[in-house]
Amino acid sequence: MRTAYHEQLDALTNRLAEMCGLAGVAMERATQALLQADLPLAEQVITDHDQIATLSARAEEDAFVLLALQAPVAGDLRAVVSSIQIVADVDRMGALALHVAKIARRRHPQPALPEEVNGYFAEMGRVAVDLGHSAQEVLLTKDPEKAARIREDDDAMDDLHRHLFTVLMDRDWKHGVAAAVDVTLLGRFYERFADHAVEVARRVIFQVTGHNPDEEQLPAAR
């Protein structure tokens, strides 16, 4: 029975890692669509989101089946409960990439971004993709040290987000309210994507060690 249980738990972990990988790919493509006003690529992200949603529903169902039928305790219980929470975090990462793609689609054929902020979003996209891949790796390796290092990329995202606001608040901003709203929303989407990747790392640390990381070490997703 225990062998079958751990095989099911491993399958659940692999599904969560697959979702992380898909979320990273979605954000990479959504960023390209945003920067290049690429409508077909934006549409692809929107269509492909169904795959993440399907995996999310299946993973959540599998986790609740493990919880109900196996009655896990101690470390096994931590693993299942954390997996249920991770499903929500990774599902949200996919949804945030979807939001980016939808803004790119809504503004097409015009670019959604003023040229002067393209560099910020190119870098925010790169950091977000790296975080998605890092979260995937942490899920598969269950390495708490790698999980803790995810904070470094999140700090980089926070710095980019803060600098982006200095551009928006500049008195020389000449792109109007609609563009300012889009830039504000998009910046927030990337920041939250990073926060949820960090939250995945936090939950992996809890799975492995039984302790929540110091609040100063890993910020909670919002």
Nearest to 119 by CA among 69, 183, 73: 183
Percent above pLDDT 90 for the chain: 68
What's the CA gap between 79 and 207, in Å, rounded? Answer: 5
Question: With contact defined as beta carbons under 8 Å apart, do 77 and 9 qualify?
Answer: no
Helix (H) or strand (E) run with residue 87 in it: helix 74-107
Query: What topology is assigned to 2-209 in CATH?
Result: Methane Monooxygenase Hydroxylase; Chain G, domain 1 (1.20.58)
User: What pTM, to 2 d.p., does this model score?
Assistant: 0.90
Q: For 18-70, what is each residue's pLDDT tens digit?
A: 999 999 999 999 999 999 999 999 999 999 999 999 999 999 999 888 888 76
Q: For 199-216, what is each residue's pLDDT tens digit?
A: 999 999 988 888 877 654
Query: What are the b/e assignments for 16-44, b being 16+ CB within 10 Å?
Result: bbbbbbbbbbbbbbbbbbbbebbeebbeb
